[in-house]
């Protein structure tokens, strides 16, 4: 999974077929009604749509944080829709990285420790093995001189950069990012977006990023536009060349 050049013959990173999601309640709310979507290794895909259109729901399903009502979800060619929770947790840990609108860094740990946290959960050996790579990534995102700082000593943009490196800690094939720039001013938002795009290119990880910013979306390889629980036809092509 660490190669920057994706294997064109490999199974897609994500394959959704006719995915439906309803939230239970007195009257079940159908939020996604038949989503089919393929993301290939190394792709950078933007997900856009109005508030309440189901973007977070979609990411939560792909991130195995929730279960679809019906339809199929494959990660690396494996049907994960009906796996036991233990196996799902393993996919989450080994195959996926997550970036949220809020960074959720642990305040009592340093920058380096926070970025290494997903490896720490796998044990000391995994943490030792990952440390040089994580240090290098922290340098790449401009935090090489902040490794010993605590999150409270960083700016919002710097905190989010730590969260981006943390998402790459276990060398995932796919990074799911839900409005990663939503809590930042335009300058920091752009810097964080640029970094994700650069890391997408240099590490070969696929990114699926929810954004309300059309300029960022236009710089993705593809745009997925959610309308009324479905992908709007013809909306997948990128409007602007990436710059």
Q: Binding residues for ligand ATP, per CB under 6 A?
A: 23, 29, 31, 49, 51-57
The interface partner of residue 112, options being Mg ion, ligand ATP, none and the CB cut-off 5 to 8 Å by kind, is none
| C-beta closer to ligand ATP: residue 102 or 149 | 102
Neighbours of 145 (CB within 10 A): 10
We find the least distance from the C-beta atom of residue 99 to ligand ATP, in angstroms, to be 14
Give Cβ neighbours of residue 78 (< 8 Å, ≥ 6 apart): 91
Q: How far is CA 70 from the centre of its chain?
A: 23
Burial (0-12, 13-18, 19+ Cβ within 10 Å), 78: middle
Residues lying near Mg ion in the complex (CB under 5 A) are found at 56
Quickly tell me which residue has 């710097």 as its tokens: 158
The interface partner of residue 31, options being ligand ATP, Mg ion, none and the CB cut-off 5 to 8 Å by kind, is ligand ATP
The interface partner of residue 52, options being Mg ion, ligand ATP, none and the CB cut-off 5 to 8 Å by kind, is ligand ATP
| C-beta closer to ligand ATP: residue 21 or 146 | 21
d(CA 73, CA 82): 9
Determine the Cα angle at 134 with ends 102 and 61, to 5°: 45
The interface partner of residue 77, options being Mg ion, ligand ATP, none and the CB cut-off 5 to 8 Å by kind, is none
We find the least distance from the C-beta atom of residue 59 to Mg ion, in angstroms, to be 8
We find the least distance from the C-beta atom of residue 57 to ligand ATP, in angstroms, to be 3
HSE-CB of 239 using CA atoms within 13 angstroms: 10
The interface partner of residue 49, options being Mg ion, ligand ATP, none and the CB cut-off 5 to 8 Å by kind, is ligand ATP
We find the least distance from the C-beta atom of residue 70 to ligand ATP, in angstroms, to be 17
The secondary structure of 98-129 as a DSSP string is EE-SS----TTS-HHHHHHHHHHTT-HHHHHH
DSSP β-bridge partners for residue 23: 29
DSSP assignment letter at 28 = P
| C-beta closer to ligand ATP: residue 103 or 146 | 103
DSSP assignment letter at 107 = T
Q: How many Å is the Cα radius of gyration of the chain?
A: 18
Q: How far is CA 94 from the centre of its chain?
A: 13
| C-beta closer to ligand ATP: residue 151 or 229 | 229
| C-beta closer to Mg ion: residue 56 or 81 | 56
We find the least distance from the C-beta atom of residue 158 to ligand ATP, in angstroms, to be 24
We find the least distance from the C-beta atom of residue 98 to ligand ATP, in angstroms, to be 15
The interface partner of residue 54, options being ligand ATP, Mg ion, none and the CB cut-off 5 to 8 Å by kind, is ligand ATP
| C-beta closer to Mg ion: residue 14 or 48 | 48
């Amino acid at each position: 999974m660490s190669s920057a050049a994706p294997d064109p013959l490999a199974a897609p990173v994500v394959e959704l077929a006719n995915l439906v999601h309803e939230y239970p309640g007195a009257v079940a709310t159908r939020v996604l009604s038949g989503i089919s979507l393929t993301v290939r290794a190394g792709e950078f895909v933007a997900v856009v749509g109005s508030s309440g259109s189901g973007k977070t729901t979609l990411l939560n399903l792909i991130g195995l944080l929730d279960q679809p009502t019906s339809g199929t979800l494959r990660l690396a060619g494996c049907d994960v829709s009906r796996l036991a929770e233990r196996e799902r947790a393993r996919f989450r840990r080994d195959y996926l990285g997550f970036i949220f609108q809020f960074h959720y860094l642990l305040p009592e740990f340093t920058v380096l420790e926070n970025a290494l946290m997903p490896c720490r959960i796998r044990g000391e050996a995994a943490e030792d093995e990952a440390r040089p790579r994580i240090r290098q990534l922290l340098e790449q995102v401009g935090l090489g001189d902040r490794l010993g700082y605590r999150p409270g000593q960083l700016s919002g943009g710097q905190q989010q950069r730590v969260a981006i490196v943390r998402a790459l800690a276990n060398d995932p094939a796919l990074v799911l990012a839900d409005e990663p720039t939503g809590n930042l001013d335009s300058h920091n938002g752009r810097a964080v977006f640029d970094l994700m795009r650069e890391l997408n290119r240099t590490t070969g990880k696929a990114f699926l990023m929810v954004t309300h910013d059309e300029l960022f979306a236009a710089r993705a390889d593809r745009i997925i536009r959610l309308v009324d629980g479905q992908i709007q036809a013809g909306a997948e092509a990128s409007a602007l060349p990436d710059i």
